[in-house]
Structure 1
Amino acid sequence: MHHIYQELRNTNKDYYIYDLNALKQRAAYITDKLNHNVYYAVKANSHHRILSTLLPYVAGFEVASVGEIMKVRQISSDAHIIFGGPVKTYDDLKYAIDHHVSSIQIESLFELDHLIALTEQKESSIDVLIRINLKDIQTSAKLKMAGATQFGMPDEDIKEAMNLIKSSPWINFKGLHFHAMSNNLDANAHIAFIQQALQYHHSDINVPIETMNVGGGIGIDYQHKVAFDFEHFAERVHHMPKLTFEIGRYLVGPIGYYAANVFDIKKNQESNFVLLNGGTNHFRFPKAWHHQHYHTVYRPTKTQRKGRTKILSNEEAFFAGKLCTPNDVFGTKYHIDNIQTGDWVVFHFAGAYAYDISHINFLSHPEPEIIFVTT
């Protein structure tokens, strides 16, 4: 961690720090272990340095917006792109075709109507997959994406969708897309989900299936107590038919850190608060998921600030930020071994769904500084 801590030089700033060497090693490990197609889910972290670092390792990029297509095309003119998401408008689909996405995941007859019209107009073909919403997925994952959710083609629309696809000379049906869970820590449950996807059958899908996209959802334990058994998972899926994965969180989450300096320590109405020179506007994830987020405390050997000092030891406390709202707390109470003003609180696993999901511009505070380490 020294290479991360040494970047914490200015107590007036908060930081995102990404370890690009760790990202390269992790990407090489994951793509080597999985003898399948691994796409990166751009929504996890869309910074161009992250995308360009991953480019040599992944089969392509999964995107869910025009903006994400644009970001991928800024780092590569020909990288494979899978375009997903539950609402894709006519303009979205036009942009996707114009910028040569490789395939589109269809979730709606309205999308398919637009796509047929566009491809006929442009006399340009496009590969499509139909997203399937599986029933009865058994998972303890934090988020469930299948079942009674807004995702996937309704079962009663599949027959019409297949008829429309077959009637169009420009729409190439390639297969099925499944994405059933998010941040799943149970490798066996994930294997069972993939087996269920492979066994899926619909009487109106009576053409060859070339691509089975089983999405992402492999998780990270943000309390740093248990881990997804990736070795076991990779071994079990090794001999399955060729699959496509869309991995985001598991790939980039562990290589990022969010750090903020301890400005003050207070006790109000019997509750302790460690106030950080940052906020949930910059690192929203612990608040959004209402959890304790694994962190370390770094105390510089040389004092970076002068004046009074406050210390808290062996107490429960909230980490709070600088926003004008009582909601600006980083999840639930934490047990504090020892902390003092001037220390740095460094939240780990901040490489995914951290900066990108935060309301950075709220209250117009200065943005966190982003640092990439390569040594």
Structure 2
Amino acid sequence: MPLLDPAAMAPDLRAKAEKIQSWQHSAATFIYDPSVALARIQLMRTALPPWIRIHYAMKANSFPSLVEVISPKVDGFDVASESELETARRVSATASISASGPGKSDAFIECLSRISNSIVNVDSVTELHRLRKVAENHGRQQKVALRVSPPYVQLDIGDEFENDGQRFGLFSDDLHHAITYARASSFLELVGFHFHLLSNNLDAARHASYIRWCLSWSRSTAQRAGIDLRYVNVGGGIGVGFGIESEFDLERLGNELKGLETPDFEVVIEPGRYLTADCGWYISDVVDLKVREHESFVVLAGGIHHFQLPTSWDIVHNAVVLPREGWSETYPRPTVENQLVTIIGKLCTTEDTLLRDVAVTRVRVGDAIAFPYAGAYGWEFAMQNFLGHPHAKRALLRSNDIGDD
């Protein structure tokens, strides 16, 4: 696979990136263009029916400066920790909050109990007991939605898929007990259900069928159980092609859903990666080149302690060589031309490999490598303290300014 042409990175973004690295004396930087994320949100607003509310899944990218720009354009936030909740509340004191994830801490539950417009997506029966206890201590009623974890889903397009994330949510055997317990407690207000059964899905027809299934299952289950259904959260899972695969057909998803009768309950979707992946670049200096017969290694100042996603999820992220002229050292500038190279980081592990066997026209020590689609699960997902190397800097590209962390 050849590396991308440097022209793939917009000149203004590249110029800002170079300025940031010089200004911050940083050998590795994440730079985010919020206009790209805002355009994605607008695409969703235009394509999807108006009855779908958009909550940004903050786990994809919780950089406060970016979240602050996104905040006015979404209906709320999906958070999974006290830190994410704190960021959400700092940028908007009124945005709706949905809280997800297993093993929620008591401190997290305490914080959520103080927010009147929060809904906790319950992951287990034990969590229900803990939520009731905290709510009772505060003398308040906590809104809850039960996260559903069926073993498989039968779609109306003739497709069936197994639930790969069965560790999350309430298992089928626990669901009836959870419904009974929540309805019996005066400190828990059962408002509906939460789902998250697809991940990085690129098939719009399948996604539309999945959402229809979520709505239908919720209606029928609520009717049988006597629940006043007011809320269905269908999760996220809309995928990104990373410049390698075809992109998700958002217009097709919207067209299929617009044909549905408007639900008489709130419907929430939680995009994260889809909104922010292509707004971000990870840029790292080339600090060494190691060449032997049939194999060349490009060594970066960064690595998977900054940008772990390509290795952990086996995702092929393409990259761009950013040439930098000028060489002030007294020794010859190491250079590789017209070869296959493997791009690695500086950690003492063979896992620190970002790209394997990619064709490069020329790369030199002192150049930089820029990875696109680094705006989601980048800085937040990395093992930043391994070996104690400096963290990557983060910066936001603004119209007339740069905001850093």
Show the counterpart of 2:227.
Answer: 207
Residue number among 4, 27, 34 corresponding to 2:41 in the alignment: 27
Superposition deviation, residue 204 in structure 1:
5.2
Superposition deviation, residue 138 in structure 1:
7.8
> What TM-score do you get using the length of structure 1 for normalisation?
0.91
Show the counterpart of 1:303.
Answer: 326
User: 1:304/1:97 Cα in 2 relative to 1: closer, same or farther (>3 Å)?
Assistant: farther
RMSD over aligned Cα atoms: 2.3
- Segments ≥4 residues shifted beyond 4 Å: 304-307
Confirm or deny that 1:84 pairs with 2:93.
no
Instruction: Report 1:209-228 matches (<5 A).
Output: 209-228=229-248
The CA deviation string for residues 138-171 of structure 1, in whole angstroms up to 9 with x for no partner, is 89xxxx9935621111212222212222212232
Maintained 8 Å contact 2:77/2:97: yes
Superposition deviation, residue 215 in structure 1:
0.3
Aligned residue type for 1:52: E
Confirm or deny that 1:172 pairs with 2:189.
yes
Confirm or deny that 1:8 pairs with 2:32.
no
Maintained 8 Å contact 1:105/1:128: yes
Aligned residue type for 2:273: R
Residue number among 342, 352, 359 corresponding to 1:318 in the alignment: 342
Q: Distance in 2 between matches of 1:145 and 1:370?
A: 38
SS in structure 2 at match of 1:44: coil
Identity between Structure 1 and Structure 2 (%): 28
SS in structure 1 at match of 2:347: coil
Q: Distance in 2 between matches of 1:350 and 1:305?
A: 31
Q: Distance in 2 between matches of 1:56 and 1:42?
A: 14
Aligned residue type for 2:183: K
Maintained 8 Å contact 1:39/1:60: yes
Instruction: Report 1:89-238 matches (<5 A).
Output: 89-100=105-116, 102-137=118-153, 146-147=163-164, 149-200=166-217, 201-202=220-221, 205-238=225-258
Deviation larger for 250-259 or 173-182: 173-182
Maintained 8 Å contact 2:327/2:333: no
SS in structure 2 at match of 1:165: helix
Q: Distance in 2 between matches of 1:346 and 1:273?
A: 16
Show the counterpart of 1:49.
Answer: 65
Maintained 8 Å contact 1:40/1:247: yes
Q: Distance in 2 between matches of 1:342 and 1:138?
A: 54
Aligned residue type for 1:156: D
Maintained 8 Å contact 1:184/1:218: yes
Show the counterpart of 2:376.
Answer: 352
Q: Distance in 1 between matches of 2:338 and 2:294?
A: 15
User: 1:304/1:185 Cα in 2 relative to 1: closer, same or farther (>3 Å)?
Assistant: farther
Superposition deviation, residue 333 in structure 1:
2.9
Superposition deviation, residue 304 in structure 1:
6.2
Superposition deviation, residue 250 in structure 1:
0.4
Aligned residue type for 1:182: S
> What TM-score do you get using the length of structure 2 for normalisation?
0.85
Deviation larger for 329-338 or 357-366: 329-338
Residue number among 234, 238, 244 corresponding to 2:268 in the alignment: 244
Aligned residue type for 1:149: Q
SS in structure 2 at match of 1:231: helix
Deviation larger for 216-225 or 57-66: 216-225
The CA deviation string for residues 259-291 of structure 1, in whole angstroms up to 9 with x for no partner, is 012222222463211111211111111111223
Maintained 8 Å contact 1:292/1:334: no
The CA deviation string for residues 40-95 of structure 1, in whole angstroms up to 9 with x for no partner, is 00101111111111111000000111221122122222221101112224333122
Maintained 8 Å contact 2:165/2:197: no
Deviation larger for 336-345 or 65-74: 336-345
Q: Distance in 1 between matches of 2:138 and 2:343?
A: 55
Deviation larger for 233-242 or 344-353: 233-242
